[in-house]
Structure 1
Amino acid sequence: MNPDAKQLWRAPRWALAVLLAVLGMLGPFSIDTYIPAFSGIAQSLGATPVEMQQTLSAYLFGFAFMCLFHGAISDSVGRRPVVLWGLAAFTLASAGCALSQSIGQLVFFRAMQGLTTGAGIVVARAVVRDMFAPAQAQQVMSQITIYFGVAPAVAPIIGGWLFVHLGWHSVFWFLTAVGVVLWIANYKLLPETLHLTHRQPLKVSNLLQGYWQLGLDPRFLLLALASGVPFNGMFLYVLSAPAFLGDHLALAPTQFFWFFVLSIGGIMGGAWVSGRMAGRLAPKQQIKYGFAVMLSIASINLAANLLFKAHVAWALFPIAIFAFGWAMMVPVVTLLVLDLHPERRGMASSLQAFIASSANGLVAGVIAPLVMHSTVLLAAVSLAMMCVGLLAWVYLRQRWPHIGRAEVHQLTEL
């Protein structure tokens, strides 16, 4: 934690949470805004469904690759330069998407967007731990998740409206404008939170040593799997939205927002509960309750899809409840990851994001196209991915039972 934290940010704590949430939302916002325009983009550029799916996977793999470096670089040069350069590059990449005349160009500039948007979410996590002690950090992380949820809820509404009234190019011009606004806001408001004494040397040998240290730490890998893979149990439906919502549930592009509103509402609700439990319940209990919710609802969702034909009247609610359970536990797991190696919090955030994003890219490029034609397969794979995270957490607790066992009164005092 930065010893000068109180002097760096004198405004209310929630205001910093809003700034970091808006910064971190750029990644999912870049996905959810253009999904309603899939059909229009495919028709305009003569793209096949597989090629359109590549615009997602290129973005996600670009995001995953650069996530390896955003946090590590911020450990050396500071948080603020990485954020500002990332936002500037994202803005240019968004303009490139808007000007694309072929599916190849669009895939390229989507990859460029992915390479740049990770700076927001990766650095935002490190900033939280720079500025706050553990219990306060969990509360702020929960607030960030709540505010963060607003953007993906409204993104498909905005994207659908822009697509219907102004065409698909306008979606990417809108993202260009968002990049400009965020750059100005962070230039004026975001302080440098990494203390000079906490900076790491910007040397290849030092970076490799850090990656080696974290990559070989089984605790880090298991925690990253516990938070990142279950997210794909919900994200699978986001990636399959054109087929799931349009084909299976017969919703128009302008009606996709119902899915996003319910899902993001679940995330915001789970994050709110996580914030309320901070300092009152041991981290391991919060994680246990989150997994219990996800396991129960994912099993019910699979059974319902086996027994009944999916219908909009009920098919969206299990995903929202799943999101609730995930958001209950992920702020806690994220802080456990960051505190394993306090001197390399930026790098830890980078590697956590890399593992999660690699899984996202695999789901987008390989798994989603294979299962999106069947609601039963969607439900089954969603349950399977949740179980991967659950098994990682159970194994971690057996090998290192002290992790997540902080006393409640200790948490309250922080």
Structure 2
Amino acid sequence: MHTAPTVSFRRIALLVAGLSMFGPFAIDAVFPAFPRIGNQFAVDKLALQQVISVYLLAYALMSLVHGALSDALGRKRVIVGGLLVFIAASIGCALARDMPTLLFFRALQGMSAGVGYIIGRAVIRDLYAGDEAQRLMSQVSMIFSIAPAIAPIIGGWLLGWGNWPLIFWFLVGFSTLLLAVTLLWLPETHPPQARLELKPLALAADYLAIARNRRFLRLAGAGALGFGGLFLYIASAPAVIIDLLGLGERDFAWLFVPTIAGMSLGAWFSGRSAGRISGERAIASGFAVLGLSVLWNVGYNLFTDTPQVPWAMLGLSLHAFGTALIFPVLTLRILDMYPRQRGSASSMQAFSVLVTNTVVAGVLSPLLSRHGLHLALGAAAFIAAGGLLWWLELRAMARSGKLAADQGQ
């Protein structure tokens, strides 16, 4: 196994978490600016939602390329290239003077934003295995989960000092800092002798083989759908905070802080449980917590017409906690299925999450965000579908005898 002895475990955790943060940060930091962008460009809420949807669609499509490029060219080179493109795209967003220009550069942001998230997970698995990899993945999740909480808060603060382009100038500064730290800290974890030749037809065949693998579909689907219910609230943040709760553009912390608290705590428990309980038990615990979040969200919205903080947000904390328990274990199992194609496997898993999120942001959020109960039922449907896929995976493992072997370890 290729290792980087000059880089500490903690430094790798901080670096990979930072690289994973800038993509989601570019989604959530913009939410508080929606009213101002709409007023300046004279567009409605549906058009504003495309600021997110266009970004996510480009992110999803390019996620299929980033991992394969890193398998062929090396991890560090692709990450550095992606950061350079993201910086240029953020400058374009800040200078945009009409909606089509803003959407063009948002798409360019999305095309480059996935390099840190997708390739960072492959870096972890390049360096570590087993329980150690799960602990590092959980530490990264804890740090990474700060982004959705602080991004809208920072966005709101920046709006207090200037207009919405200031948010994109902040992204320029943040990604430039990441570029400098990457050049200084990140070792190349995928040496030339381990790289695959970049052949488009062979790459397409590999992706098709992964996409047709039933086990991959069960594992990736369970994670994507479990997170999809949480992302429904994240994508609907302007409607939840401003319309349903009647709060202001600087009050997005009411949604994101409880979410991040749940995710950080869940990631901490996931790291502590590595090597102590089986992956199956960790995932079962995660789905049990997700079930509790459904009971609270649906029950609360059935018995109130005017949701109030903090009670309206308690279910989100539970949902985030359960998701953070599940995701590291599912991710490592997917990467372990393809030891020579970890970049491609990471890309395909990310693609499944991003396609789900794109549908959520572009279709489901506008339909469901007018009422708290509709959002709660939508999240419940996602959790139920994810739980069904995990149940099917358990049945497949039991038939193959792998479940008993894993639980006996």
| Shorter-chain TM-score tier | over 0.9
Deviation at 1:11, TM superposition (A): 3.5
3-state SS, counterpart of residue 340 of structure 2 = helix
2:368 alignment counterpart: 371
Q: Which residue of 1 aligns with 2:201?
A: 205
- 1:341-362 CA-to-partner distances (Å, cap 9, x unmatched) read 1111100000000011000000
Aligned residues between the structures = 406
Q: In 2, are the aligned partners of 1:246 and 1:253 still within 8 Å (CA)? A: yes
Select the residue among 113, 133, 136 that pairs with 1:137: 133
Aligned pair 1:246/2:254, yes or no?
no
Residue number in structure 1 paired with 2:179: 183
Task: Determine if the alignment matches structure 1 residue 399 to structure 2 residue 403.
Answer: no
1:147 pairs with 2:182: no
C-alpha distance in structure 2 between counterparts of 1:198 and 1:62, whole Å: 29
Question: CA contact under 8 A between 1:79 and 1:194: conserved in structure 2?
Answer: yes
Partner of 2:345 in structure 1?
A: 348
What letter matches 1:146 in structure 2? Answer: M
Written as runs of structure 1 = structure 2, the 5 A alignment for 1:16-95 is 16-95=12-91
Cα distance per residue 1:87-112 (max 9 Å; x no partner): 00000000110011111111111111
Match of 2:261?
A: 265
Amino acid in the other structure paired with 1:341: Y
CA deviation profile, 1:110-138 (whole Å, cap 9, x unmatched): 11111100111000000000000111000
8 Å contact 2:72–2:195 — kept in the other structure?
A: yes
Contact kept, 8 Å, 2:230 with 2:320, in 1: the verdict is yes
**In the alignment, what sits opposite 1:314?**
311
> Using the alignment, how far apart are the partners of 2:408 and 2:133 within structure 1?
16
Q: Of residues 95, 110, 114 in structure 2, which corresponds to 1:114?
A: 110
The more displaced of 9-18 and 166-175 is 9-18
C-alpha distance in structure 2 between counterparts of 1:403 and 1:95, whole Å: 51
Amino acid in structure 1 at the alignment position of 2:381: A
CA RMSD of aligned residues (A): 1.3
Distance in 2 separating the partners of 1:261 and 1:148: 13
CA–CA distance in structure 2, aligned partners of residues 405 and 114 of structure 1: 42
Partner SS state of residue 312, structure 1: coil
Query: What's the TM-score, normalizing by structure 1?
Result: 0.95
Contact 1:282–1:405, Cα closer than 8 Å, also in 2: no
Give SS of 1:202's match.
coil
Unaligned runs of 5+ in 1: none
- Residue 2 (structure 2) pairs with residue 4 (structure 1): yes
Determine the C-alpha separation between the residues in 2 that align with 1:244 and 1:137: 36
The list of structure 1 runs, each at least 4 consecutive aligned residues, that deviate by more than 4 angstroms after superposition, is 402-410
Offset at residue 10 of structure 1 (A)? 2.7
Change (3 A) 1:405 1:36: farther
Distance 1:300 1:258, change over 3 A: closer
Residues 208-247 of structure 1 aligned to structure 2 (within 5 Å): 208-247=204-243
Tell me how far apart the structure 1 counterparts of residues 391 and 143 of structure 2 sit (CA, whole Å): 30
Q: CA deviation at 1:195?
A: 2.9
Identify the residue that residue 337 of structure 1 maps to in structure 2: 334
- What is the distance in 1 between the residues matched to 2:160 and 2:342? 43
Change (3 A) 1:351 1:115: same
Q: Does 1:388 align with 2:385?
A: yes
Task: Give, in angstroms, the shift of residue 4 of structure 1.
Answer: 3.4
Q: In the TM superposition, what is the alpha-carbon distance from 1:274 to its structure 2 partner? A: 0.2
- 2-structure distance, mates of 1:238, 1:208: 32
Q: CA deviation at 1:404?
A: 6.4
Q: Among residues 325, 330, 336, which one is paired with 1:328 in the alignment?
A: 325
Taking the aligned partners of 1:135 and 1:70, their CA distance within structure 2 comes to: 26
Q: Does 1:302 align with 2:298?
A: yes
Instruction: Quote how far apart the aligned CAs of 1:12 are.
Output: 2.7
Work out whether residues 397 and 403 of structure 2, in 8 Å CA contact, stay in contact via their aligned partners in 1.
no
Q: Is the 8 A contact 1:273 1:328 kept in 2?
A: yes
Give the conservation status (yes or no) of the 8 Å contact 1:229–1:389.
Answer: yes
The TM-score normalised by the length of structure 2 is 0.97
Distance 2:119 2:371 in 1: 38
Cα displacement (A) at 1:407 = 4.5
Query: What percent identity do the matched residue pairs reach?
Result: 40
Contact 1:280/1:408 (8 A) holds in 2: no
Deviations along 1:46-104, one digit per CA (max 9) or x if unpaired, are 12111100010000000000000100111111101110000000000001100111111
